[in-house]
Structure 1
Amino acid sequence: MLLKRQSADERVHTDMRTDVIVVAAGRGQRAGDGMPKQYRTVGGEPVLRRTLARFLGQPGIRFVQPVISPDHVELCASIVAGLPGVLPPVAGGATRQASVRAGLEALAGDPPDLVLIHDAARPFVSARLVADAIATAAEHGAAVPALPLVDTIKALSAPGFVATGPDRDRIRSVQTPQSFRYDLILAAHRAQADAGDLTDDAAVAEAAGHRVATFPGDPANVKLTTPEDFVTAERNAAALVDIRTSTGFDVHAFGPGDHVWLGGVRIPHEFGLSGHSDADVVLHALTDALLGTIGSADIGHHFPPSDPQWKGAASDRFLAHAAALVREAGGRIAHLDATVICEAPKIGPHREAMRERIAEIAGIPVARVSVKATTSERLGFTGRREGIAALAAATVRLPWVD
């Protein structure tokens, strides 16, 4: 079950398991000399890693499947290290169509309900696009993001002379992620395996007899193709200059039980923690810290304790919600830090599991998560072993807005 959210996520169908295929098998020769464009850096971070991270932690997304050239296995491994939810890459084919089919076949053992297919060289895909892609494919079976044309299109009657062009109102520029029911697009790719190199997955679906719906694209969702595109992308990356830090705090009392939830990890203990949800003080504090960076009230505003739907809810949903709101604001999470205050249980044996789980929920590398623990020297309610408290800090980078 996913979050009931305001804004883009209201359009996500909560019962649909969705995976993403990121196609990164090309050479990118038009981008100029050097390594393939998906492995070049923008703002100090490889393009492929940026693209993969955009999907991680998004509501509705389960796994992300990279498809790469067999020559780039080691390079890819170093770039995606630490990203939660990224499946081992599979080798692509000689054409984009063959590469997508390889990605689809790789998901067949545990198939999703929906699949999004995205170009690795589009590292600025937004949370709104992802939500719309999921919702439109869930409704129609096949969907693509489309933009109206700004320029007038003309055909050539002879070299150097124009003829009447097509009706611009009926022409669209198509982007990725393109989204489909998994069984529909897998069958379409298998059926069109020998049909020549179709230009995109919508064309594959159309060739198999399916109608493809559209949803609004995003002008910022550019594909990096030429050297000039990388210059522009560097400027866009540099625009994330509004660095904000916010804190969070939470406390819960001990009650009956045999375990506690801390940082998304179930830890055996002689007591449980009392609360309307699962009482995970670490995730609650981190959620408030993230919400603070974008001025979006607090956890009680988004998930009121008076609302019965949150009774016993897993707190990973709260942190994922806050992380998605940061991304919707155009931001990136730079660091999450949590300090647990308690006499027991011992946090040290579970620290790395907590870091990994927090990173997975927030869609960031483990290296950007810190978990610490301390006691209160037997002073106060934590010292008397009456409950657990947590402090948190979140640092995010946002576009500058006056």
Structure 2
Amino acid sequence: MTADRQAGARRGEPKRVALVVAAGRGYRLGGELPKQYLTLGGRPILRHCLAVFAAHPDIAAVRAVIHPDDQPLYDQAARGLDLLDPVPGGAERQDSVRLGLESLADLAPDQVLIHDAARPFLTPDVVDRVIAALDEQPGAIPAVAQADTLKRVGADGLITGTVDRSGLWRAQTPQGFRFPDLLAAHRAAAGQTLTDDAAVLEAAGGAVRIVPGAERNVKITTVEDLRRAERRFQGPGEVRVGSGFDVHAVGPGDHVTLGGIRIPYEHGLVGHSDADVGLHAVTDAIYGAIAAGDIGRHFPPTDERWKGAPSDVFLRHAGALVEALGGRILHLDLTLICERPKVGPRRAAITSRIAEILGLDGGRVAVKATTTEQLGFTGRGEGIAAQATATVSLPG
């Protein structure tokens, strides 16, 4: 795991990790690959959910539990993502989860979210709801209320009764728990066969809360499931727009860094990193477009590792998250707000630098500069501000 991933949790907040269970063999969909490594929308099914957790600002670390024979497949599916090394699973899902939890014990997380690799359409809002519920209960799972009439059927195919569906919910993942509670419950349940992690905690006497899941958070089990899932990627995709704004005060120094370009100046900018107000605004705009929080979530200013760090590190991270989610950056629009230094002569260089950092065509990056007509803190030369807009395309 790189330092970037460890930056996911701020001091004083619960340390949360995600455990993605991908050790099953699952050949029912045909072919020679386990289903979690089949391609969906041009990417392995497993990569879809790994990317969501890797991009989530409140998840400090992500680990997968895999079959020992699948290491090459996993390496391909996880390429470029900031993850903990995977660990081998066991004969049953329950064994795999327990082994995954044991592997996290040295990290001593406060909370853990367990997710099935065969659910590729996880969205950040579902993760948010599970996390929020853990403030009140030791366990929380997303679920969807049962809407269809349920029938009990005998071995001869004849209906033997109608089941009252009131109070029935279809459980999904990720299922969230306080880490010490779930680890102890799994240790106590070793050798049993329980259907999900909520059942493990329930067996140990723990309370589990239901939070709203999502109909799209389906589990791919059959060939028809995979076909329906693939159709979601055959449309034009979803276009998202995010905005970013940043300010840094002037201070001692002989240069400022704007848009990745060092500009000689009689002052510097004050900040924990290199105080590149332009790249900070662009980075936050990209994070906003993919609902991934902000720079402070991924790179806390309380962390000494980022003291004086070049801001292209932050921007590359944001761009990598877009790629990991199967998306692409369509356009960036940055406005720098200051009286001095003059940005105009460096506009082309800033445009080229941002495009270079993100691997974009220069025509997808717009850089502008303006003043506040000597009004306000920027007009008085007390600081420099920037605002940015990012337009991103994500799979449907």
Task: Report the TM-score when normalising by structure 1.
Answer: 0.67
Structure 1 residues 332 and 250, CA gap change in structure 2 (3 angstroms): farther
Q: CA deviation at 1:49?
A: 1.0
Structure 1 residues 198 and 219, CA gap change in structure 2 (3 angstroms): same
- 1:285 and 2:285 aligned: no
Of residues 91, 99, 120, the one that matches 1:123 is: 120
2:102 is matched with 105
Name the CA distance, whole Å, in 2 between partners of 1:367 and 1:193: 49
Structure 1 residues 232 and 137, CA gap change in structure 2 (3 angstroms): same
2:36 is matched with 38
Q: CA deviation at 1:255?
A: 1.9
Structure 1 residues 368 and 132, CA gap change in structure 2 (3 angstroms): farther
1:7 is matched with none
Structure 1 residues 398 and 49, CA gap change in structure 2 (3 angstroms): closer
Equivalent pair of 2:66/2:87 in contact (CA under 8 Å) = yes
Structure 1 residues 252 and 139, CA gap change in structure 2 (3 angstroms): closer
- 1:73 and 2:71 aligned: yes
Name the CA distance, whole Å, in 1 between partners of 2:89 and 2:284: 38
Name the CA distance, whole Å, in 2 between partners of 1:34 and 1:75: 12
Structure 1 residues 20 and 259, CA gap change in structure 2 (3 angstroms): farther
Name the CA distance, whole Å, in 2 between partners of 1:213 and 1:368: 44
Equivalent pair of 2:277/2:386 in contact (CA under 8 Å) = no
Q: Per-residue displacement from partner, 1:285-305 (whole Å, max 9, x unpaired)?
A: 3334665x69x9xx9xxxxxx
Structure 1 residues 391 and 138, CA gap change in structure 2 (3 angstroms): closer
- 1:53 and 2:51 aligned: yes
- 1:200 and 2:201 aligned: no
Structure 1 residues 186 and 240, CA gap change in structure 2 (3 angstroms): farther
How many residues are treated as equivalent by the alignment? Answer: 327
Q: CA deviation at 1:33?
A: 2.3
Equivalent pair of 1:116/1:178 in contact (CA under 8 Å) = yes
1:22 is matched with 20
3-state SS in 2 of match to 1:140? coil
Q: CA deviation at 1:100?
A: 0.5
Task: Report the TM-score when normalising by structure 2.
Answer: 0.68
Name the CA distance, whole Å, in 2 between partners of 1:145 and 1:60: 17
Name the CA distance, whole Å, in 2 between partners of 1:221 and 1:25: 20
2:184 is matched with 187
**Runs of 5+ consecutive residues of structure 1 not aligned to the other structure:** 1-12, 300-313, 356-365, 371-385
2:163 is matched with 166
Equivalent pair of 2:243/2:284 in contact (CA under 8 Å) = no
**Runs of 5+ consecutive residues of structure 2 not aligned to the other structure:** 1-10, 295-308, 337-342, 363-381
Name the CA distance, whole Å, in 2 between partners of 1:368 and 1:93: 43
Name the CA distance, whole Å, in 2 between partners of 1:186 and 1:114: 11
Of residues 226, 229, 247, the one that matches 1:233 is: 229
Mapping 1:250-269, distance limit 5 Å: 254-256=250-252
Equivalent pair of 1:146/1:217 in contact (CA under 8 Å) = yes
Equivalent pair of 2:328/2:394 in contact (CA under 8 Å) = no
Equivalent pair of 2:245/2:284 in contact (CA under 8 Å) = no
Name the CA distance, whole Å, in 1 between partners of 2:249 and 2:344: 11
